[in-house]
Amino acid sequence: MPPKPIVILHGWSDVSTSFRSLKTHIQKRLGRPMESIFLADWVSLDDDVTYADLADGMERAWSEHPALKRTARSADCIVHSTGGLVVREWMIRHYPDRLPPIHRLVMLAPANFGSPLAHHGKSVVGRARNGYKKLRGGSADRAFETGTHILDGLELGSGYSFDLAERDLFGAAGEKFGKDGVLTTVLIGNEGNKGPLGILEFDGSDGVVRTSCASLRCRRLTAFFEALPRDPRAPIEAELEPCTAHTAFRVVNRLDHGDVTLNKWARKGSKDRDEQERALDLICDSLEVTPAKFAGHVDRLDDETAELQEALDTASEDQEGFFDLFVEPDDEKHGHHSFILQMRDTQGQGLKDWLLEYYDTDEVNWNTGRIKASKSLTKLFNRRVIDDVHTWSRDPSHRAFHLDVTEIENLIEDGEGRRISISVTAEPALSTSDRGRGNRAGYYSYNDEDIGALKLGLAELPGYFPMHASTIARFEIERCQAPEIFEIRA
């Protein structure tokens, strides 16, 4: 039986010619005919183009190509960066009730839950696009277009990535990712300091995409915050649902966002070259894995990632085993989790002005609302665990929290039996203590007795916020009205 064709999709601001080197490496390593590996081009910098447009365009181009079929699992596919969102949109949009034509899907540094670069504006994304070189080719009237719709969806905490995950990673749709469907492997580097853009230093990333945002390991969390609960110290109920997608994931040490494409090889004999060779091995293994061996493939890559992460976290100079390397202490390479939250009220409105609070209830003085201890768990959590918070520019009800799971594990060792409470403060505020500060409608959340909290023991936190994974969460808060907002008199 002839080998299945391979289709390679580039990412935002890139072109297919960047992947000629990868095509050659795969052809040599696997012995696949050169003409069976195709490089796809898609428009990423046109401000009018949406992900739906790209999905429809991909379906048309796939249908018209003589070597590609629309039958289930008839081809393999490699995607880089934003190409991951494009292929996922295509699969769920055009093959919602049947298996797509892709059998093995290899995602190289995919921006499945966004990139911290996307919201830095045209100056930074333009620098990422063109480096420090002069613009070459292209039309002058398109020089400053960056693909507005594409970047909006690529922004951290975007409603698009949130919605896409709900459409394709849960229920029957998510089950298409696994041994009986699309055999999906995600590979991403962890080196964010290479090149001129390294000055931005995004912790837990390859310099462009965070490891947690690349992973398709996802769960869905829902919680309801009732106004004026009978016992504000009692934990509120929350529902945590794991996704049904079964995918492989692997962090490759020392590689940045571009290195993982193998476009430029490091000096032979260097540690970077060793990791590039390992990345090629992983790509080829993922292109040959069978359904029967996929579960073992997933477990092996998990074990290797865990071993690497342990080496990075402990910073041992004499690490032995699979990763025989010297590692310097660096919280940039800590394991992280992406907590992507939409805050809305019982009227279905997204909240514009709100604060998510993390605190240890036992440390709060319920009379003053102040933290009792000077070196408290509350302060340690907020300073060390919360690495970054980003509000989606299109809708402030959406935010992405970047949580340092390595630091969570450190807190667990030092704080056995302690709990973290997660609660909300929202505007416009109503309060039992000051009659709502003049507001006639809003949210009882200003004081501790106004609202409850989600309470998690430290040991529970890795279950809610696992390393190299994401949570999409919908928190709903009760909207209330002051009695005088509407009166009926005799």
pLDDT value, residue 474: 98
pLDDT digits (tens, 9 = 90+) for 397-446: 999 999 999 999 988 887 667 889 999 999 999 977 655 457 889 999 98
Q: Is the pLDDT score of 294 beyond 90?
A: yes
* Whole-angstrom Cα Rg for the chain: 24
Which of the residue ranges 281-285, 336-340, 415-419 would you say has the lowest mean pLDDT? 415-419
Angle at 202 between CA 472 and CA 165, to 5 degrees: 20
Query: What is the number of other CB atoms lying within 10 angstroms of the CB of residue 355?
Result: 13
What pLDDT, on a 0 to 100 scale, did the predictor assign at position 319? 44
pLDDT at residue 324 greater than cutoff 50: no
Report whether pLDDT(138) > 50: no
How is 206-219 classified by DSSP, letter by letter? SSSSBHHHH---EE
Q: What average pLDDT score do residues 182-190 get?
A: 97
pLDDT for 328 beyond 50: no
Phi first, then psi: give them for residue 122, nearest 5 degrees: -65, -30
Lowest-confidence region among 164-178, 182-196, 272-286, 401-415: 182-196
Name the region of 360 (left: φ>0; alpha: ψ -120 to 50; beta: rest).
beta
* Range from 192-196, 274-278, 457-461 carrying the lowest mean pLDDT: 192-196
Are 211 and 150 in contact by the 8 Å Cβ rule? The answer is no
Residues 254-258, mean pLDDT to the nearest whole number: 93
The arithmetic mean of pLDDT across residues 325-330, rounded, is 46
- 387 membership: H or E segment, kind and range: strand 386-391
**315 pLDDT more than 80:** no
Mean pLDDT, residues 302-330: 67
Percent of the chain at pLDDT > 90 equals 70
The pLDDT of residue 170 is 98
CA–CA dist 69, 63 (Å, integer)? 7
List pLDDT tens digits, range 89-134: 999 999 999 999 999 999 999 999 999 988 775 455 554 544 444 4
Number of Cβ within a 10 Å radius of residue 430: 24
Residue 215 has pLDDT above 80, yes or no: yes
Paired tokens of 200? 């931005």
Among the ranges given (31-35, 47-51, 185-189, 279-283), the one the predictor scored with the smallest mean pLDDT: 31-35
Cα separation, 451 vs 360, in Å, equals 15
Transcribe 229-295 into DSSP letters: -S-TTSBPPEEEEE-S---EEEEETT--TTGGGTSSPPPTTSHHHHHHHHHHHHHHHHHH--GGGHH
- pLDDT averaged over every residue in the chain: 88
Share of the chain above pLDDT 70, in %: 86
What token pair was written down for 230? 């009978």
Higher pLDDT, 193 or 468: 468
Give the whole-angstrom CA distance, residue 480 versus residue 486: 12
Q: Answer yes or no: is pLDDT of 39 > 60.
A: yes
Q: What is the pTM of this model?
A: 0.91
* pLDDT beyond 50 at 346: yes
Q: How far is 288 from 276, CA to CA, in rounded Å?
A: 19
Report pLDDT for 449: 82
Rounded to whole angstroms, how far apart are CA atoms 265 and 272? 8
Kindly report the CA angle at 164 between 338 and 237, in degrees rounded to 5? 55
